Structure 1
């Protein structure tokens, strides 16, 4: 994949340097072909490092990239300086008010969410898979941003490429878990084949953001599963019987 890097931006985030990147423009080959940035994949370490460099330069040249050891939690951490790769915190959201840092979230169907309060100079990024989303990872991100001086009525958020409802089949147990949390969550599920449903992760995350008082929420509406040329997808790789999968990255920083 020799195409230029795809950088999807959200108007809600204004001039804050950011981008939801896909798989185009990287050096990885085979099943990881393109801009695979996942150190946890079976890809060559040198290729992943080069892809991460390219991703950084496409969004905020010269910045210091900071990522996490993501574990599908609701935990958010505040970043004041970069740390060694082997010392990455086990968490699923990060916030900062420090210029020159580029916050990165890796996904392969889960929803990446980028946040900004430009007036306060505070940004955040969250990895919202279904576990983190229902657990409150976006709420934790907002709270951590407020600790740095952000105000939630000024925070804008954007939800990047993730698996869409048409591609996300779940079973009755999954539906029941969400409805036990709130019966009104049933509206995020459409009827599927017997005993199954289609879950709208993007809409659910947007609902969580709006319920938390975020007034500006932008949905990019990009389906990672359905567009193999542009995005990596864990579920698509699983359905194809592939032994591994790549990860794309979503980035936000302060110049």
Structure 2
């Protein structure tokens, strides 16, 4: 499992420097160079990276081989195929990486406010179980994302998210209504029987090491990446 930062790439401002998103207006050649660098660092062949056309859906797609183009209209990918690097792009949304390394099942999830509210993580866990995973054996890693202290939303929206994702409603540092999607997802995962959970507490809005759409508007995307190196082993080493 790997989470990138904005450091170490070739993109120019406002995408400086390790932007991995090819849909944000950056020079395509710079993005390709950054993705090649990611492949070199992880040791996974560039053609084995699986990207998504993330649209804030609750659609989960099972993949069993390389995809030359991003998987259409999906916000989670699940695989049992070793060597496929599943990627999620974010700039405030929660990147969620999941693996049952005993069963050889892995997933990458784009959990923005809308997708999380509509059950994208729950549906991903259910899909992993269909592929042979057991909730008690799933390891979950939630990456850097907008913290509740920085994620201001209207009161009605906070209440709606809380209704569908309990534990997410909070107050911002300014004392206004907010949502903490990571907190809600941790509670949801535990309710699903997933108890091996690590949540990176870093706030992309306030931490300049990360891209943040809420902070900067036009900006790049960092990635969470997970891959299976073989049956009974995940990509965490």
Return structure 1 stretches of 4+ with deviation > 3 angstroms. 179-182, 191-194
Q: What are the equivalent positions in structure 2 for 1:150-161 lying under 5 Å apart?
A: 150-161=133-144
- Secondary structure of the 2:73 match is coil
Query: Is 1:252–2:231 an aligned residue pair?
Result: no
TM-score, length of structure 2 as denominator length: 0.90
Q: Show the counterpart of 1:67.
A: 51
Q: Show the counterpart of 1:225.
A: 205
Q: Show the counterpart of 1:212.
A: 192
CA distance in 1, matches of 2:139, 2:194: 7
- The answer on whether the counterparts of 1:66 and 1:83 sit within 8 Å (CA) in structure 2 is yes
- The answer on whether the counterparts of 1:60 and 1:102 sit within 8 Å (CA) in structure 2 is no
CA distance in 2, matches of 1:113, 1:191: 23
1:176 CA drift (Å): 2.3
Q: What are the equivalent positions in structure 2 for 1:69-108 lying under 5 Å apart?
A: 69-85=53-69, 88-108=71-91
Gap runs ≥5 in structure 2 = 230-237
Which stretch of structure 1 is more off in the superposition, 54-63 or 124-133?
A: 54-63
- Secondary structure of the 1:153 match is helix
Which of 29, 38, 60 is 2:12 aligned to? Answer: 29
Q: What are the equivalent positions in structure 2 for 1:238-249 lying under 5 Å apart?
A: 238=217, 244-249=218-223
Which of 105, 110, 121 is 1:138 aligned to? Answer: 121
Q: Show the counterpart of 1:234.
A: 213
- Secondary structure of the 1:251 match is strand
Query: What is the number of equivalent residue pairs in this alignment?
Result: 228
- The answer on whether the counterparts of 1:158 and 1:217 sit within 8 Å (CA) in structure 2 is yes
Which stretch of structure 1 is more off in the superposition, 108-117 or 171-180?
A: 171-180
CA distance in 1, matches of 2:162, 2:81: 39
- The answer on whether the counterparts of 2:60 and 2:76 sit within 8 Å (CA) in structure 1 is yes
1:99-155 deviation digits (Å, cap 9, x = unpaired): 111000000000000001010111111000111111111111111111221111111
